[in-house]
Amino acid sequence: MSAATPDHDLATLAGAIARGEISARDAVRRAIARARAWQPAINAFVAIDEERAMQRAGEADRMRASGAALPPLHGVPVAIKDMFDRDGQAPGCGAGPGKARAGLRDAALVEALARSGAVVVGSLNMTEYALGLTGHNDHVGDCRNPWSRDRVTGGSSSGPAAAVAARIVPAAIGSDTGASIRIPAAWCGVAGLKPTHGLVDGRGAMPMSFALDTIGPLATTMRGAAMLLDAISSRSRGAPHPACRGGRLDGLRIGVARAHFGDGLDPGVERALISTIATLRGLGATIGEAPAAQADLARRLHRLMMAAEAATLHDRQLREDPGRFTAEVRYRLELGRRIPATAHLSAARGRARLLRAYMSEAFAGCDVLLTALVPRPAPEIERTRFGAPGFAPELLADIPKRTQPFNYLGLPALAMPCGFAGGMPVGCQLAGRPFDEATLLAVGEAHEAVTDWHRRMPDPPTGAPP
């Protein structure tokens, strides 16, 4: 494992640039050098935008020299999943390289990053049209886990998780419709937040499901994730629960949901979860049991809605040019086309009612829920490739059951690094009330202060800058 340096944390790096301890050009140059060194090993990037990034970094340095007031992420290098429109450039969305398109304006997310002063250094690998949870990609090549090159990263935000885990950039932007930030974050050992549905403007982002899509940060630390969330949110995330003070959680009620969420866990994952519970209790939190409520129903309704809406978005292309999709994605879309409109509408109409019932039951005796997130460490690439000789579908069958309920309900959920199993990182999940991301991040930061999981880093390729 390698040692962390100051520019591996977004908040630390932002402060150093603002004080003039490091120039934006140097910070961006180092990120690009790391990207090029890591790329042959993990294939995290679809495109490294060196010319535009260095131009923006130079502008940032001149702005600081002028004495002007600086935005919060001034000159900090970040990267974005390849699903956001940029000025004159359409994203590839996991189906190949992006293409020039005259008149195309920046996505709302890209505009928000520019206002914050962040410098986008490139576009990151993702699963084809975000339809998959492994990170496999037959168009641009698989993204590989920095901790073990023969393991998946998780998907569909594979590139963001890999780039942050490798410390190429201190933070990145992904999307989460059913698990796509949290599973890669857990399998790569970084923080990843699915915000409350609607908190981040999706204009100019590739849609997958009208009702479920969210955009959020992945970062090496919780405060880095918090700063990036502040930069891209359409509203303030507010203050954390009053019990979260000074790195303590005295009196915060954490409900551990074991039913549904705790089934079938790898022994190493279960040990990590038990250790996390003990750590949070040691920080002063009150730990109790929380009911699963109707989590399984929420999961099933989520899968129905996501499949139907994805199929609707791609229906014309699927009819006119089915060969443009790989076999796995085409299979998923065909399943979605078979869902009756009445079933989709029933799932959509029942969402608010189920949310009210879930909040009154699952959150009746707690402020935050704690659950397992992934049941096992990241599996091998060849055992999870659709149709391959070694394909073992049982390795993936129950992976998203712990994440999908919170997408259907629209609640914020955070992937928090909590240990290792079999030499690979794992994470647990914190879920909160609507628009209470601040409490989840405060709990995550308190946990970071007394553990070192977030500081552990995979060994870089030979010649990569530290």
- CA 438 to CA 165: how far, in whole Å? 23
* Backbone torsion region of residue 342, taken as left when φ is above 0, otherwise alpha when ψ lies between -120 and 50, otherwise beta: alpha
* Backbone torsion region of residue 200, taken as left when φ is above 0, otherwise alpha when ψ lies between -120 and 50, otherwise beta: beta
Q: Are strands 191-194 and 77-81 parallel, antiparallel or unpaired?
A: unpaired
Q: Which DSSP category does 85 fall into? A: -
Percentages helix, strand, coil for the chain (3-state, rounded to 5) are 40, 20, 40
DSSP structure string for 198-220: TSB--TTBPPS-TTT--EEEEES
238-245 long-range Cβ contacts below 8 angstroms, 24+ apart: 238/435, 238/436, 238/438, 239/438, 240/438, 240/439, 240/441, 240/442, 241/367, 241/368, 241/436, 241/439, 241/442, 243/284, 243/285, 243/367, 244/439, 244/442, 244/443, 244/446
Tokens 């879309």 correspond to what residue?
A: 333
Token digits of residue 278: 């003990």
Alpha helices (H) in 370-409, listed in sequence order: 404-409
Going by C-beta distance under 8 Å and a sequence separation of 6 or more, which residues neighbour residue 237? 199, 226, 229, 230, 435, 437, 438, 441
Beta bridge partners, 290, equal 257
Query: Three-state SS for 245?
Result: strand
Catalytic residues: 81, 156, 180
Token digits of residue 159: 């590139």
- CA 447 to CA 454: how far, in whole Å? 10
Query: Helix (H) and strand (E) counts for the chain?
Result: 15, 15
Going by C-beta distance under 8 Å and a sequence separation of 6 or more, which residues neighbour residue 462? none
Length of the chain: 466
Separation in Å, CA 154 to CA 113, 134, 182? 25, 4, 9
Separation in Å, CA 66 to CA 14, 19, 60, 61, 70? 18, 13, 10, 9, 10
